[in-house]
């Protein structure tokens, strides 16, 4: 319990630091949104329009510390302000259009990749020197070296464009209205296959190798020899004695990986026109939409922190040593 509380304190500090950076970084960039907007209509707007735009977006020349207090104050009320790129929609509304989809894609991809990779690692180590153990790691590492979006493009081109087996874009068919029907859910799954595969293929190797290396160490432990001597079933030794102990480093990695996968899935989303946070973020950066950028980074930060907290809780359950006094 004390271990958890101490971690909670750490999380609070991490959250505050990320909030502050989140506030500072966009403001240190040159340029301002009104002029970008003006430029988008290369020459079609009047000079006076820039002033009008600045008024519309409510840009202030307040000192930075005052802006910071307003920002933190609003944050605690769940107010993220108005988006510039999607003016005059609220940032919370804009993020709400894509958050569920990003969570679905990144979540599904991480879970599949983790379970599959770890499972492969366990089996490969148990049958050391077998075909699985000799073929899979190099292949997966080779695939894992490619950036997500590149794999995404290859999948899109081969399976989507050339073979036509999967849809080229979007999270569900344009012909359907979102509803809780079998047809809609099938459509969502069908659209999820390619983008999720791109992430899974790229991340599988990492899980498998790290699992394999810890498993190899664990198998040399005395308690494994002991369990063998006791005549326990091979399956029980593999999962309860070896895998459960070898899983610990991978669980820690899971929390970290979620952060990477979230950012990687942003790129994948763009390739598949998946209506998640990825493209929103690009739009926000292009239009210097500070409120939206802050909102997106905030959701990503909080998601990663929450995942790590979850991992900590799991850890307490998996590793009795952390429960000590």
Partner 1 sequence: MSRRLLMLCLSLMSLGGLAHCSKSPQESAQPAPAAPTTAAAPVKATAMTVIQEQQASWIRNFNPLIAPGTARWPTRAGVYEPLMVYNTLKGEFVPWLATKSEWSPDNKKLTLTLRSGVKWSDGQPFTAKDVAFTFELLKKHKALDFPAVWSFLEGVQAKDDTTVEFSLTRPYVPGLVYIVHQPIVPEHKWKDVQDPVTYTNETPVATGPFTEVKVFQNQIFELGRNPHYWQQGKPAVESLRFPAYPGNDQANLALLTGELDWAGSFVPDIERVFVAKDKENNHYWFPLVGNTTTLYVNTAKKPFDDVRVRKAISMAIDRDQIVKVAMYGYTRPSDATALSDAHDRWRSPEAVAAGDWTKFDQAKANALLDEAGLKRGENGMRTLPDKTPMKFDINVVTGWSDWVRAVQLIAQNLKQVGIDASLKTYDFSPYFERIQKGEYDISIGWTSDEPTPYHVYRDLMGTETLRPIGVVSARNWNRFGSKEADGLLHAFEATNDPAEQKKIAGQLQMFFVQNAPAIPLFPGPSWGEYSTRRFTNFPNKDNPYAKLTPNSPPENLFVLVEVKPK
CB of 80 to partner 1, least distance (A): 15
Kindly list the distances between the CA atom of residue 67 and the CA atoms of 20, 22, 27, 71, 96, in Å, as whole numbers in the listed order: 12, 13, 11, 6, 25
- Closer CB to partner 1, residue 123 or residue 281? 281
Q: What are phi and psi of 115, to 5 degrees?
A: -65, -45
The contact mask relative to partner 1 for 144-183 (x = CB under 8 A, - = no) is -----------------x------xxxxxxxxxxxxx--x
The contact mask relative to partner 1 for 244-283 (x = CB under 8 A, - = no) is -------------------------xx--xxxx-xxx-xx
Choosing from 27, 225, 313, 321, the residue that interacts with partner 1 (CB under 8 A) is 313
Per residue, the 3-state secondary structure of 181-223, as one string, reads CHHHHHHHHHHHHHHHHHHHHHHHHHHHHHHHHHHHHHHCCHH
- Distance, C-alpha 248 to centroid of its chain: 21
- Closer CB to partner 1, residue 183 or residue 221? 183
> Do the Cβ atoms of 217 and 256 come closer than 8 Å?
no
Q: Is 36 in the site for partner 1 (CB under 8 A)?
A: yes
Contacts (CB under 8 A) with partner 1, residues 188-207: 190
Measured CA to CA, the distance from residue 194 to residue 74 in angstroms comes to 39
- Closer CB to partner 1, residue 163 or residue 177? 177
> Do the Cβ atoms of 191 and 171 come closer than 8 Å?
yes
Choosing from 75, 79, 92, 107, the residue that interacts with partner 1 (CB under 8 A) is 107
Retrieve residue 164's tokens: 């036509």
Taking CB under 8 A as the binding criterion, the range among 12-20, 118-126, 247-255, 311-319 that sits at the site for partner 1 is: 311-319
- Closer CB to partner 1, residue 120 or residue 311? 311
Question: Where do we find the tokens 């900590």?
Answer: 312
Contacts (CB under 8 A) with partner 1, residues 226-245: none
Q: Is 93 in the site for partner 1 (CB under 8 A)?
A: yes
Choosing from 41, 65, 76, 131, the residue that interacts with partner 1 (CB under 8 A) is 41
Q: Is 1 in the site for partner 1 (CB under 8 A)?
A: yes
Peptide bond into 88 cis (omega under 30): yes
Retrieve residue 169's tokens: 């874009």
């Amino acid at each position: 319990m004390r271990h958890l509380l101490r971690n909670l304190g750490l999380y609070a500090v991490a959250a505050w630091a990320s909030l502050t950076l989140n506030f500072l970084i966009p403001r240190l960039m040159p340029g301002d949104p009104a002029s970008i907007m003006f430029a988008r209509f290369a020459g079609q707007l009047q000079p006076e329009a820039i002033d009008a735009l600045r008024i519309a977006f409510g840009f202030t020349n307040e000192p930075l510390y005052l802006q910071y207090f307003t920002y933190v104050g609003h944050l605690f009320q769940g107010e993220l302000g108005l988006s510039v790129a999607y003016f005059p929609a609220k940032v919370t509304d804009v993020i709400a259009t894509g958050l569920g989809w990003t969570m679905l894609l990144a979540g599904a991809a991480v879970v599949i990749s983790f379970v599959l990779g770890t499972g492969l690692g366990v089996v490969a180590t148990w049958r050391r020197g077998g075909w699985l153990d000799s073929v899979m790691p190099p292949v997966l590492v080779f695939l894992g070296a490619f950036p997500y979006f590149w794999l995404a493009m290859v999948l899109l081109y081969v399976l989507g464009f050339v073979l036509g087996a999967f849809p080229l874009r979007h999270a569900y068919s344009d012909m359907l209205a979102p509803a809780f029907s079998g047809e809609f859910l099938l459509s969502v799954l069908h659209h999820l296959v390619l983008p999720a595969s791109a992430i899974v293929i790229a991340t599988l190797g990492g899980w498998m190798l790290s699992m394999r290396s810890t498993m190899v160490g664990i198998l040399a432990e005395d308690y494994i020899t002991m369990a063998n001597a006791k005549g326990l079933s091979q399956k029980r030794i593999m999962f309860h004695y070896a895998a459960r102990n070898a899983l610990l480093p991978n669980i820690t990695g899971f929390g970290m990986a979620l952060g990477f996968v979230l950012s990687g899935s942003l790129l994948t989303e763009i390739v598949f026109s998946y209506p998640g946070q990825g493209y929103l973020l690009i739009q926000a950066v292009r239009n210097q939409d500070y409120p939206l950028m802050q909102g997106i980074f905030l959701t990503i930060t909080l998601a990663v922190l929450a995942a790590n907290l979850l991992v900590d809780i799991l850890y307490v359950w998996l590793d009795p040593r952390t429960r000590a006094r």
